[in-house]
A and B are shown apart, each in its own frame.
Chain A
Amino acid sequence: EDQVTQSPEALRLQEGESSSLNCSYTVSGLRGLFWYRQDPGKGPEFLFTLYSAGEEKEKERLKATLTKKESFLHITAPKPEDSATYLCAVQSRNGANSKLTFGKGITLSVRP
């Protein structure tokens, strides 16, 4: 069974204070690892897909990296508008279902 564990559950940062969010996973054949951002009362918004260990992707202040066991979402010099819940999900190669198995999310709060 695919599993995703995210840590910490919540993170409070001062504006400009860089940090990293962790996503540990176990999956029977990784098809892709996804990062989503979710604002209160809204649906998850796609950020990145990573397919193989060593891959990195960047978008503004966010950078996602992937190893064989975990992924990190690095936030450089965050701003209050980066406050949200960040979800990590994996998709396995088993079967035709494109199901995403999600972690419980990390709630990030950035203080001005």
Chain B
Amino acid sequence: EAQVTQNPRYLITVTGKKLTVTCSQNMNHEYMSWYRQDPGLGLRQIYYSMNVEVTDKGDVPEGYKVSRKEKRNFPLILESPSPNQTSLYFCASSLRDRGRITGYNEQFFGPGTRLTVL
């Protein structure tokens, strides 16, 4: 089954304790992205990756790191979590947009990771 998986699904941690949220996709997608979803703010992009070893900042990258060493995996790292990073996090993936060729940029989302930082 084609899917994006995230782990853990739920996490409660304390300020400053490093954590990693994993994301994996089995669709051979080049593009992967992390979003956070907060009440009243909607979904906002944190980081994205166009392919292996290619990553860049989204709209709200402060306090986060990512890496893309393998095509299928795109972990999100919080080196020193703070309470304002309490949120619902989603990983998404898609084929890379081939310019004027449409129909390839549907993004598939994972089930989400609910993070609470105390």
Contact = CB atoms under 8 A, between A and B. Distances in A.
B106 A46 contact: yes
Nearest to B112: A43
Contacts of B111: 42-43
Nearest to A43: B109
A46 B50 contact: no
B48 A104 contact: no
Interface in A80-103: 87, 89, 91, 96-100, 102-103
Given A42-B111, A42-B112, A45-B109, A98 B94 contact: yes
Contacts of A46: 106-108
A42 B92 CA distance: 13
Interface residues on A, range: 20 to 34
Q: Which 7 A-B pairs have the closest CB atoms?
A: A43-B109, A102-B43, A104-B42, A102-B42, A44-B109, A99-B45, A43-B111
- Interface class of chain A by DSSP: loop
Interface string B82-118: 0000000010101011000011011111111000000
A18 B61 CA distance: 41
A43 B58 contact: no
Contact of A49 (B43, B45, B106): B106
27 contacts: A31-B97, A31-B105, A34-B106, A34-B107, A43-B4, A43-B110, A43-B111, A44-B90, A44-B109, A46-B107, A46-B108, A49-B102, A49-B103, A51-B102, A97-B50, A97-B58, A98-B31, A98-B33, A98-B48, A98-B97, A98-B105, A99-B45, A99-B58, A100-B107, A102-B43, A103-B42, A104-B42
Contacts of B105: 31-32, 49, 91, 98
A99 B58 CA distance: 8
A94 to B, nearest CB: 12
B30 to A, nearest CB: 10
A69 B41 CA distance: 21
